[in-house]
A and B are shown apart, each in its own frame.
Chain A
Amino acid sequence: MDTVERTFVASLDTIPAMIEFVSSTAETFGVHPKRVMHLELAVEEATANICSYAYEIPPGEVTIKISREPELFRIELIDSGVPFDPMAMETPDLKAELESRQVGGLGVFLIRRMLDDVHYSRSAGQNILSLAVRYGEK
């Protein structure tokens, strides 16, 4: 199993660099281009939440650990901010009319729909968000 990791400043400005790190590694590890796009979206949504909510006195740091497991390409987003479980955010009302449609929680919803395995845990003062896709197209 191959692993790489990198630590970034947790600010909105570094999101493109975090996306690039994940997508280029995914391509190198043979993830299908369609799933690489899913990963890019998931990384943007997840890191946007971390950068916005995790640190009471921003910016903090977020470490991205990437693992090439036999069945899944997995990334873990690790930050030392306040306990923040994105999986606990409400699913948006997808059928709401325009006037009442809110966008909160939409990012997390997209993460869960686009990827194959998503879970959150908290350990030793860190939030750990694990996101994974299969290598093939579906």
Chain B
Amino acid sequence: MNVKTQEEKGYWVVKLEGRLDISNSSQFEQDCMNWIEQGQRKFILDLAALEYISSAGLRSILAATKKLKAQNGSLALCSLSGLVEEVVTVSGFDNILQVFPDLDQAMKEE
């Protein structure tokens, strides 16, 4: 999986490309913890180029979200499609995470 990050309008936009699965989710979780440690608090995970996510991937996103909430931060997802959208919806994660259709919508929120 490729990960690209940039600061935009006060948000930490993380663009994931490829697959977030059992082989790389621990590393991704660690990356999130590092960014939080560096002071980032308003995460947007842009999933436009993410084609696959498993429960391991959801676990890592959940862990990052809990850590952010504990630090008065936030995490939102945007641009879900295909299997990723199906997994997030079926698992009910769209009830506990903010999900937006695109990055512009995600950056309109607090």
Contact = CB atoms under 8 A, between A and B. Distances in A.
A107 B69 contact: no
Task: Name A's interface SS.
Answer: helix
Q: Which of A95, A101, A113 has the most C-beta atoms of chain B within 10 angstroms of its own C-beta?
A: A101
Interface size class of B (residues with CB under 8 A): 20 to 34
B87 A48 contact: no
Contacts of B21: 44
Interface class of chain B by DSSP: helix
A72 interface: no
B95 A103 contact: no
Interface of A: 12, 15-16, 34, 37-38, 40-41, 44-45, 48, 92, 94-99, 101, 103, 106-107, 109-110, 113-114
7 contacts: A12-B23, A15-B22, A45-B54, A98-B97, A103-B62, A106-B55, A110-B87
Interface of B: 21-23, 52, 54-56, 58-59, 62, 65-66, 69, 82-83, 86-87, 90-92, 95-97
